[in-house]
Amino acid sequence: MFGDITPLFQRADVSFFNLELPLSDRGESARGKAICHRGLPVNVDGIAEAGVSCVNLANNHVLDYGDVAMFDTFDLLDRKRIGRFGAGRNIEEARKGYVIDKNGLRIGFLGYTTTLPTGFAATSECPGVNALQVYTAYQPRASLAEYPGTAPQIVTWTDPLHLQALRSDVAAFRKQVDVLLIYVHWGTSMSPHVHDFQREIAKAAIDAGAHGVFGGHQHVMSAIEFYRGCPVVYGSANLLFDTWTSFFTDETLKTFLFGASIGPDGLSDCHLLPAKTGVDVPPRLLSRRDPLWGAIYETLQRHSGAFETRLTAREDAIEVSCN
């Protein structure tokens, strides 16, 4: 399933990724949703074989085939002893963190999503995902009477009550663990642009006690930033995707794995392993001599430069740190 990446997961003390779709052969596709995804239940065997510690389920596809398919996914992961977070049978379960005890450390995970199809957000009585509501406004950059047709400025912000709930959850969970990592499904599909709300959420999470924030949804790589010494990965693109979607481009074949050492003070020795996305085939790690390796490095340099992030190319990885 994961090709030559499988041994990396197997050797890692802790590993996680975003599971973008339900694993089920039951349910009906969500009415009115343009794109619905699901995977075969047998695919859980590949996740288990790789030894993946846990997966995030807070995203915009886990409910594509309704509650029954999401519940099937819960049951499959639980039977294989693969941890899960970010979605649940009610909001209490969706907000609940997952903990791994490893080498004397308690490592916690919380999952959120800002991509919210109608009916996906969990409530006290309804299953769903751990939601962060985001608002968008389009403001003129200049007088439209003088400059008709001018493109608007996009302004985004997180619902204050949701942002406060995130702060409270992170602060409370941080007291139970030594290291806390957050995943947020966010951003704009097929765009590397980092919006204001993404930085707002990342800073709020780290200020409340998180040691790193990781995100996805864009299908293309985005920037990496450090805030108070903690990494914020705004988007690492797709590692493995089931089919080639009509709007995919060559940019969707660029991806990377984020690696780090975990200690009592958080993450150190942060580095990236460039890889080629697997689309209906296993993903593939790239060697420094592969032209795609260089293209990934250049793309990340371009996206991350504005955030004062330093990338250093090594023989086997890309070191990443704050300037």
Please give the average per-residue pLDDT across 283-302, as a whole number: 97
Please give the average per-residue pLDDT across 286-299, as a whole number: 97
Please give the average per-residue pLDDT across 46-53, as a whole number: 97
Maximum Cα interatomic distance, the chain, rounded to a whole number of Å: 65
Q: How many CA atoms lie within 13 A of 94 on its CB side?
A: 28
**pLDDT of 123 strictly over 90:** yes
Q: Which helix (H) or strand (E) holds 164?
A: helix 160-174
Q: How confident is the model at residue 244 (pLDDT cuts 50, 70, 90)?
A: confident
**pLDDT of 245 strictly over 90:** no
Backbone angles phi, psi at 234, to 5 degrees: -75, -25
Over residues 149-208, the pLDDT tens digits come to 999 999 999 999 999 999 999 999 999 999 999 999 999 999 999 999 999 999 999 999
- Structure confidence at residue 276 (pLDDT): 98
DSSP for 175-214?
Answer: TT-SEEEEEEE-S-TT--PPPHHHHHHHHHHHHTT-SEEE
For residue 304, CA distances in Å to 53, 163, 225, 294 come to 28, 25, 7, 15
Tell me the residue length of the chain: 323
Over residues 16-40, the pLDDT tens digits come to 999 999 999 999 999 999 999 999 9
CATH number of 3-245: 3.60.21
Alpha-carbon gap, residue 59 to 167, rounded angstroms: 20
Write the DSSP symbol of residue 151.
P
Write the DSSP symbol of residue 306.
G
pTM score, two decimals? 0.97
Nearest partner of 127 among 168, 83, 185, 69, judged by Cα: 69
